[in-house]
Amino acid sequence: MGLFDWIGGQFIDVIEWLDDSHDTMVYRFPRQGNEIKYGAKLTVRESQVAVFVNEGEIADVLGPGIYELETKNLPIMTSLQHWSHGFNSPFKAEVYFFNTKRFTNLKWGTKNPIMVRDPEFSMVRLRAFGTYEIRIIDPKVFMKEIVGTDGNFMIDEIDEQLKNLILSKFTKVLGESKIPVLDLASNYENFSEYVTKHIAPYFKEYGLELTKVIIENISLPENVEKALDRRTSREVTGNLDDNLKYQAGEALGNATGGSGIGDIMGMGMGFSLGQEMFGQGKRVEKDTPPPLPSRDETMYHIAVDNLSEGPYDTRTIQEFIDKGKIKRDSLVWTKGMKNWEKAGDKLSNLFENTPPPLP
């Protein structure tokens, strides 16, 4: 090796960092024992900060720009090295580049359900997940508290700690918000802003800024979701009578694809319970009058799809006629008749109240 090669290998005159990893937070410029030459060129790009460390002590911090390293650019280093009367060239120092861009799409989520108080459900277990964003705002604090002497600090080295920090504060923030669980789904954006505002101060202890917490989903336990589905279905059906009919229809539909006797027994128990509840409901509704007596106690059977249905009183027959279930050529039969007869002949008076079909 020649003399000039040796001199060139000893002195560093260009200091810069081009990041192509997208997840490096701190990078130490590799000196490998080389020394920095007086007047060396330092390039600090946008979203970068350069920190000089002298004998383990943080000295000067330089923001974006191009510098020729002199005593005026490194006042603290000058003081530590006692360069008041002259700049020694070369000099030794460690240079760390801090990536101050925003690190996005970092995942967080509850490992186990968290218990929270709710105005409607009292106590309820929730799961939640989403993403968050951070950036370095105080390189000195971040270096002292987190990085240390790590020369290539990646985001995944602190990601787990930050997720745990979010989760530890999330339960408290959720309880303080007093937003009902059922309203959270329609308030994700507002709640995300609320969470960010109340958790961000804890990140400053690490020299970081929590710029955003995004809540993508908050879910209830499966059994609670089923209970909510039943509640929603019940509210859709309206009163108790309609609800019992709805449940009976559900049981009938399930029985067709079920396990035979077990489903039939379940249906029987369901009908019995429904009748009991229906009876209790009728007793509670004291202001509801009983149904009017039928004008005609004659009961009729009707033929629908070659099957006999009934018997029905004339009030029900009139409803079937109005709805089009019974037409004039439909067959009806009642006690005392030898054969089935057309409804138009036997019950002609009921058809007089029914308008003809639209053209």
Q: Tell me, yes or no, whether 207 lies in a domain.
A: yes
206 DSSP assignment: G
358 assigned to some structural domain: no
Tell me the per-residue pLDDT of 249-279, one tens digit each, with 9 for 90 and over: 667 666 555 544 445 445 455 555 555 555 5
What is the predicted pLDDT for the residue at 69?
86
Asked if the structure places residue 80 within a domain, the reply is: yes
Q: How confident is the model at residue 135 (pLDDT cuts 50, 70, 90)?
A: very high
Q: What is the pLDDT of residue 132?
A: 95
| Prediction pTM value | 0.58
Span 273-312, pLDDT tens digits? 555 555 554 454 456 666 665 555 688 888 887 788 878 8
Do 93 and 113 sit in the same domain of this protein? no
Q: Is residue 333 part of a domain?
A: yes
Mark which of 197, 220, 243 sits at the end of a domain: 220
Give the N- to C-terminal CA distance of the chain in Å, as an integer: 108
Compute φ and ψ for 316, nearest 5 degrees.
-70, -40
Q: Is residue 19 part of a domain?
A: yes
Q: Which ranges constitute the DSSP H helices of 240-339?
A: 240-256, 261-284, 314-323
Helices 261-284/240-256 angle, 10° precision: 180
Say yes or no: 15 and 50 in one domain.
yes
Q: What are phi and psi of 17, to 5 degrees?
A: -145, 125
126 pairs with which residues across the strands? Answer: 114
Q: Is the pLDDT of residue 197 over 80?
A: yes
Task: Please check whether residues 107 and 208 belong to one and the same domain.
Answer: yes
Indicate the number of domains in the chain. 4
Residue 75 lies in a domain: yes
Give the residue-averaged pLDDT of 52-60.
88
Identify the domain containing residue 259 by its residue range: 224-284
Do 74 and 112 lie in one domain? The reply is no
Q: The domain spanning residue 341 has which CATH number?
A: 3.30.1490
**Contact 49/60 with Cβ under 8 angstroms?**
no
